[in-house]
Structures are given as structure tokens and as C-alpha cells.
Amino acid sequence: MQGRRRFWVHPICKERCKTGEFRMLPQILADNEKCLAYFRMTKATFQNLLELCGPYIHKQNTNWRKAIPPIERLSVTLRYLATGNSFRSLAFSFRLGFRTVRCIVQKTCVLIWILLQPQFLPKPDAELWAKTADGYFSKWDFPNCIGSIDGKHIPLTKPPNSGSLYYNYKGFFSIVLLAVADAFGRLLVVDIGSYGSCSDGGIFSASCLGKHLCEGILDIPAAKKIPGTELITLHVFVADEAFALLPNLMKPFARRQLTTQKRVFNYRLSRARRQIECTFGILSNTWRIMKSIDTDVLPAIDSVKAICVLHNFLLAKEPIQVASDSDKDNWRTTGDTSARFTGSRNSTQQSATIRQTLCDYFNSLEGSLPWQLEACLH
């Protein structure tokens, strides 16, 4: 028989307005530097987000208790995402019930996605792909590139009754975030929730993005001339060697028996592809919940979706330099949580021809960069 509830409101929680972490908010918002450290955004951006979410998370006071205001609900949620602290830890610091914190965070994460996704992570169309290609050519000197793509394992507490479904080849339980980034680190497409164990079985091929790419229903613009030349190629995504070579998906040449020309191509492709790596790095460093999520799978997916759309929201409100323009530094920082993709590797003749066309362009007078030979040979 279940014991009787000892308290309607625990004495610790009754002191929330006097001793809870939330009482520091006026001081935090008064200092923009503190606000950035606390919420990962400026005061103006926080207030903008509150204006968007507030009407949907407002609750009425009752005769028995005072409702938790929208500003506190949003604060708890952002602290959960920013710190990666457990629900129980946040419950103590904010003087709220454990179940209350869990409910607030899960509902607010869903709401953030619903409200922000249509504007800040919309379904790409031909116009957006074309704009992305312009960005990659002007910033990274890669023509007809419509995004860099990669996957990331997000550590997860073992879901109950899941066996080894989420156990990945790196030795921990995870879900996979598959994403495409533009030339400035903005996310264009996200596919979240694949089993960690599927990393060696073709996550990309099984994803909606992979299926739509193969079926030709991504609304990608038609083939186009490379600027300044008569060469014509399809618009392509760039990825690492773990992906399959497809007409619209370029990967490096195999490392064995590389010619100088192929090394140049690999360097130029990697230079463009680093945007998704840098974006994953920013996501993990800004939103520490990405380090490890201690919830069931569906709430974990909702948390990652909220983080992805918040990333684009912050880029729109507070633009930052996602990656250095310098090519002198060793920028490649692929983390231990990057995913492996081993889908179909049947590279068609068309795929190989497109890659060779780009290779020829990068080694031509029109397409070469002054430092590329030195960079790719070291």
C-alpha cells in the first residue's frame, strides 16, 4: 500500500521565492555578460524568446498555490539545456519539485521547437539551397555546394527494455543527430533519434534526408555552371569518407594512391565540410546537455530538437563567427562522438564524373587557391 503524501508543498519548496535560484534573475539580467554565461544568450534575446513562449506557458494561480510564472519556466528549461544538470539537481536549486521540473522542461522544449522551427529551421526549398550554394562559393570557394553533412552520437542513459538497440560501436548508449549546415554554421536539416547501434548499418540511407535525396524530392536546383567556367555540375552536399558517393553527395577520394590533384580535391572538400564539425562543436559547448542526456528517448529527442532550433535562433539574433577564415591552423577537430555511416557504397559513373569535374576545377587556373598545394601536402 502506498504511503500517504507527507506534504502538499514541501517546506523547501515553500521558500522558493526567498531562497530559490530564480531570485537571482534580476541581477543576472542586469549584467549582459552574466546573462550570456547563465542563459547562453543576451538579455534582449532572452526577453525576445520569453515574449514568444510566455503566452503558451502561462498558468493561472489557484486557491491552493501560486503558479510558476513563464519567466521561471523558461529559465529552468534553458538552465537544463545549458548545464546538463539533472532534473533533481535543478529541483533543489530552484526549490521546485522533481516532477515539476521534469514536466516544465519537457513541455517547454516541445514548445520551443513548435514556435521557432517554422521561421528558424524551415524545410529547405530551391531558393534556400541556391542561397546556400552562393554562401559556400563566396566563403569557402566550393561551387554548387548546398551544405556539409555529418552525424553525431549523443550519449544517453540506457533506455529501459531496449537491449542493445542504442549501444553504439564506441561503447556507450546514444541517439544520433544527423545534420546539414550552411556556409555560416546555420543548420538546414536535422534528423534526430536513430539508434546508436545503427551507426554501422546505414543511418544516412535510412534517414528521411537520405531517402529524399535518393528519390530526388529535396527540391534541389538543377545543374549549374561553375562560375567563371563552362563546367556544369549538379548541386552537391559534402561529407567525409564514411558516406557513400552519390551524384548529389561528394566524399573524399580514398587515401590509397592519392595523386596531388586528388589531395587538392580532398583538401578543398574538407575545407567546406568543416562547417558541420564546427557547428557540432558549438552545440556541445553551448548546450552541455548534449554531453549526456538522462531521460527517456522521446524527451531526449525533444531536447535536441530544441537545441538545434535555438542554435539557429541565436545565430539570427546574435551572429557569431562559427569558424575562422584562416586555413593556416589545424582546424579539424572531429570529436569522439562523430557517427560512422556505412550505407550503400555503389558509386555510379555519374557520381565519379561529377567528383572528377570538381577535382579538375580545383586544380585549374580558374579554381585553384594560392595556398592549397602547401596546405594539402602537409
Beta carbons within 10 angstroms of residue 13's beta carbon = 18
- Which pLDDT belongs to residue 60? 76
Q: How far is CA 275 from the centre of its chain?
A: 11
Q: DSSP for 110-160, please give it.
A: HHHHHHHHHHHSPPP-HHHHHHHHHHHHHHH--TTEEEEEEEEEEEBPPPT
The mean pLDDT of 89-104, rounded to a whole number, is 90
Question: With 80 as the cut, is the pLDDT of residue 335 above it?
Answer: no
Q: Which amino acid is at 368?
A: S
d(C-alpha 367, C-alpha 115), whole Å: 42
pLDDT digits (tens, 9 = 90+) for 186-240: 999 999 977 666 644 477 888 888 888 888 899 999 999 999 899 999 999 999 9
Q: DSSP for 250-296, please give it.
A: E-PPPSTT--HHHHHHHHHHHHHHHHHHHHHHHHHHH-GGGG-B-S-
Question: With 90 as the cut, is the pLDDT of residue 93 above it?
Answer: no
Question: With 60 as the cut, is the pLDDT of residue 369 above it?
Answer: yes
- Which pLDDT belongs to residue 189? 96
pLDDT digits (tens, 9 = 90+) for 227-279: 989 999 999 999 998 898 999 999 999 988 899 999 999 999 999 999 999 99
Beta carbons within 10 angstroms of residue 61's beta carbon = 9
For the ranges 22-26, 87-91, 148-152, 159-163, the lowest mean pLDDT is seen at 159-163
Which three cell numbers mark 139? 566563403
Question: With 80 as the cut, is the pLDDT of residue 46 above it?
Answer: yes
Question: With 70 as the cut, is the pLDDT of residue 35 above it?
Answer: yes
- Which pLDDT belongs to residue 197? 65
Question: With 70 as the cut, is the pLDDT of residue 349 above it?
Answer: yes
d(C-alpha 68, C-alpha 62), whole Å: 11
pTM: predicted TM-score of the whole model, two decimal places: 0.87
Question: With 70 as the cut, is the pLDDT of residue 336 above it?
Answer: no
- Which pLDDT belongs to residue 338? 64
* 124 contacts 141 by C-beta, under 8 angstroms: no
pLDDT higher at 5 or 21: 21
In which band, very low, low, confident or very high, does the pLDDT at 6 lie, cut at 50, 70 and 90? low
Decide: helix, strand or coil at residue 307.
helix
Residues 6+ apart with CB under 8 A from 47: none
* 362 contacts 228 by C-beta, under 8 angstroms: no
Percentage of the chain with pLDDT > 70? 84
Q: How far is CA 118 from the centre of its chain?
A: 16
Phi, psi torsion values for 345, nearest 5 degrees? -110, 25
Question: With 60 as the cut, is the pLDDT of residue 107 above it?
Answer: yes
Which of 69, 62, 72, 98 is closest to 20 using CA atoms? 72
* 233 contacts 144 by C-beta, under 8 angstroms: yes
Phi, psi torsion values for 220, nearest 5 degrees? -75, 135
- Which pLDDT belongs to residue 171? 80
Residues 6+ apart with CB under 8 A from 346: 244
- Which pLDDT belongs to residue 339? 62
- Which pLDDT belongs to residue 202? 72
Q: Which amino acid is at 320?
A: I
d(C-alpha 299, C-alpha 301), whole Å: 5
* 88 contacts 95 by C-beta, under 8 angstroms: no
**Mean pLDDT score of the chain, rounded to an integer?**
86
d(C-alpha 343, C-alpha 244), whole Å: 6
d(C-alpha 85, C-alpha 64), whole Å: 30
Question: With 80 as the cut, is the pLDDT of residue 145 above it?
Answer: yes
Helix axes of 43-57 and 32-39: crossing angle, nearest 10 degrees: 50
- Which pLDDT belongs to residue 208? 86
